[in-house]
Amino acid sequence: MIAPMVTRQPDHTRSRLLEAAFAEIHQQGFQGASLTRILEGTGLTKGALYHHFPTKQELGLAVVDEVIHERLDAILFTPLRQGADPIGTLLALIRARAADASPATVRLGCPLNNLMQEMSPVDPQFRARLTRVLEDWTAAVESALRRGQAQGQLRAGVDCREAALFITAAWEGCFGVCKNLQSVPALTGCLRQLEGYVRGLLMTP
């Protein structure tokens, strides 16, 4: 942006609030998140916060929709839907998550998984938004599997819908279990096993 425009300032303010809220929720959980700490991290006023997000819940739901969902769509869902080599793309994404594993990864866990465990049992609105993310993720994996099957990469007998749900659940399960274990080797090993599962769906040479 060459020069800030007054008409764009609200969007910039909203983005700053969402980024700060995402970081706070990732570290503290939604229920433990502090609006005071979020504002301290941005230097913004309560008036700015409540102008964009009248309630803490609205802020949290926006984090799910506009940060978590959009980021996952960019780094996972879109590549899975559009990759010319769908199975290769899926395997590469799993390997990339394993390569990115760090002490911070296992300490804080997956933002999506954290919120599913914390909020889905107690808040129907959160559950609906989180379910939408999971459904989009599973659909993207299923799309990759079906295209791989059509290209002759995947065995004909594979149930792509069931396999996609298992892959998504196992992926998130790896992060959830290894957050409790606080173990990077456990996370990388778990993701290697997931990669092995996907390879087991391939046509044998």
101 & 49 share domain = no
Determine the structural domain holding residue 139 and report its residue range.
61-200
Residue 16 φ/ψ, nearest 5 degrees: -60, -40
Whether residue 3 is predicted with pLDDT greater than 60 in this model: the reply is: no
- Domain-located, residue 111: yes
Whether residue 86 is predicted with pLDDT greater than 80 in this model: the reply is: yes
91 alpha-carbon distance from chain centroid: 17
- What is the SS3 assignment for 154? strand
Q: Kindly give the residue spans of alpha helices, DSSP state H, lying in the chain.
A: 9-28, 35-42, 46-52, 56-62, 70-72, 78-82, 86-99, 103-108, 111-119, 124-150, 160-181, 184-200
Count of alpha carbons within 13 angstroms of residue 139, beta-carbon side:
9
Q: What is the DSSP letter of 31?
A: T
26 & 120 share domain = no
164 & 131 share domain = yes
pLDDT (tens digit per residue) in 26-81: 999 999 999 999 999 999 999 999 999 999 999 999 999 999 999 999 999 999 99
User: Which of these three, 13, 34, 54, is where a domain ends?
Assistant: 54
34 & 68 share domain = no
- Domain-located, residue 205: no
Name residue, tokens 């899975």. Answer: 80
pLDDT (tens digit per residue) in 68-82: 999 999 999 999 999
Helices 111-119 and 9-28: crossing angle, nearest 10°? 70
Bridge partners, residue 202, by sequence = 154
157 & 105 share domain = yes
Number of domains in the chain: 2
What's the pTM? 0.91
Residue 131 φ/ψ, nearest 5 degrees: -60, -40
47 & 65 share domain = no
Question: 155 near 182, Cβ under 8 Å?
Answer: no
Q: Which CATH number do you get for residue 119?
A: 1.10.357.10
